[in-house]
Structure 1
Amino acid sequence: MPIRSNQPGLFGRPLHAVLGGGKIADILLWKDMKSSAAIVAGFSMVWFLFEVVEYNLVTLLCHILIALMLILFIWYNAAGLITWKLPDIYDFEIPDSTVRFIHKKFNLFLRKFYDISTGKDLRFFFVTIAGLWIMSTIGNFFSTVNLLYTTFLCLVTLPIMYERYEHEVDYLASKGNQDVKRLFNKLDSTVLNRIPRGPVKEKKYR
């Protein structure tokens, strides 16, 4: 059993804050059990329809929209016969905070991608290339739907598992990080430092 310490964790701050600290973080860490379970059930149903039933995407979307339209039509016109409250139009809108969060993360991804691609850190550049190549190889053994579904399952299981076993994971990650650093220091001194590089201009982000 690894020794627990007061050193900062793998991310340097609570995982909930790393994930944005909002509704999305609550869902990924299963703090909102109903929403998390509903999303997992929904994605599992979509995976089942595509991979098992072999539904076509356009056909599925059309059938879903038809079903929603029929439900709302019956609900609205039978409002005098049932006691259920009619859904409000704002119930179907995506919150602004969600859009801002996605927009912010996408811009951050673009900036990171640019910084890595310019070769400012050659070690990270080659690690990224190797990682993408490995992912592309793995992708040959999965269909797009299976790959997306597997990624989704990782998103909703790995964060909560990390939060539960944070100290053990941090201990293993620390040991692995030390081994990787030793490997790349050796690679840096024998290979990367001999590669000629041109000057990289610094650019300010707006």
Structure 2
Amino acid sequence: MLIMTLGILWCKIAARIFNRMPQEINIQLSQSAWIYFIGTFNWFLLKLCAITSGKDLKLFFVALAGLYTMSTTGTYISSLNLIYTVILALGTLPALYARYETQVDTIAARCIKGVKNLSQLFHVKVLDKIPRHRKLN
């Protein structure tokens, strides 16, 4: 906000002292770009409606977990450090993956197999014990 305020003040002072008006910026987007932006915004609104209506409980819990994770992360890590870490990871992780692709793929496959086993175990030990409503003929 401080930078925006300084920019506005600089434009006003420069216009009075140097008799210069700021140049107009003309941004034009093609029709396909507008269609893409509007389609993305529409998709976002549809997902938001699906989350808030309760029709897709899986998506609701994913959104809930994501918001909780962001809240917890924001409590312990400042935004500037988080942005720096994300930019650093986006710059280095693709190169590391290209270098160690086979090792990463084997470890990821083991992790996915472990998560599936835990999911099946949870299903057997917890979800199968919940009584279900049966239709009567």
Calculate the TM-score normalised by the size of structure 1.
0.40
Quick one: structure 1 residues 106 and 127, their matched pair in 2 at CA, closer, same or farther if it must change by over 3 Å? Answer: closer
Partner of 2:111: 176
Partner of 2:3: 60
Residues 1-59 of structure 1: per-residue CA shift (max 9 Å, x gap) = xxxxxxxxxxxxxxxxxxxxxxxxxxxxxxxxxxxxxxxxxxxxxxxxxxxxxxxx3x3
Deviation at 1:140, TM superposition (A): 1.2
- For these two proteins, the number of residue pairs brought into alignment is 128
Residues 146-188 of structure 1: per-residue CA shift (max 9 Å, x gap) = 3662475267436744773583444332221111111111011
Aligned partner letter, 2:110: K
- The share of aligned pairs that are identical, in percent, is 23
Residues 58-80 of structure 1: per-residue CA shift (max 9 Å, x gap) = x332113334x3698599949xx
1:101, 1:127 → 2: CA distance? 23
Deviation at 1:100, TM superposition (A): 3.6
**3-state SS of 2:119 partner:** helix
Partner of 2:91: 157
CA contact (8 A) 2:54 2:60 kept: yes
Quick one: structure 1 residues 150 and 113, their matched pair in 2 at CA, closer, same or farther if it must change by over 3 Å? Answer: farther
The answer to which structure, 1 or 2, has the higher relative contact order (CA under 8 A, 6+ apart) is: 1
**3-state SS of 2:26 partner:** helix
Q: Equivalences for 1:57-206 in 2 at 5 Å?
A: 57=1, 59-67=2-10, 69=11, 73=15, 77=20, 89-91=25-27, 97=33, 99-100=37-38, 102-103=40-41, 106-107=44-45, 109-110=47-48, 113=51, 118-119=56-57, 121=58, 129=64, 132-143=67-78, 145-146=79-80, 149-150=83-84, 153=87, 156-157=90-91, 160-161=94-95, 164=98, 167-168=101-102, 169-195=104-130
Aligned partner letter, 2:98: R
Aligned partner letter, 2:25: I
**3-state SS of 2:115 partner:** helix
Aligned partner letter, 2:48: L
Partner of 1:6: none
1:114, 1:166 → 2: CA distance? 41
Unpaired runs of 5+ in structure 2?
none
Higher percent of residues as helix? 2
After alignment, is 187-196 or 103-112 more displaced? 103-112
Aligned partner letter, 2:37: V
CA contact (8 A) 2:52 2:60 kept: no
RMSD over aligned Cα, in angstroms? 4.8
2:62, 2:48 → 1: CA distance? 18
2:89, 2:38 → 1: CA distance? 20
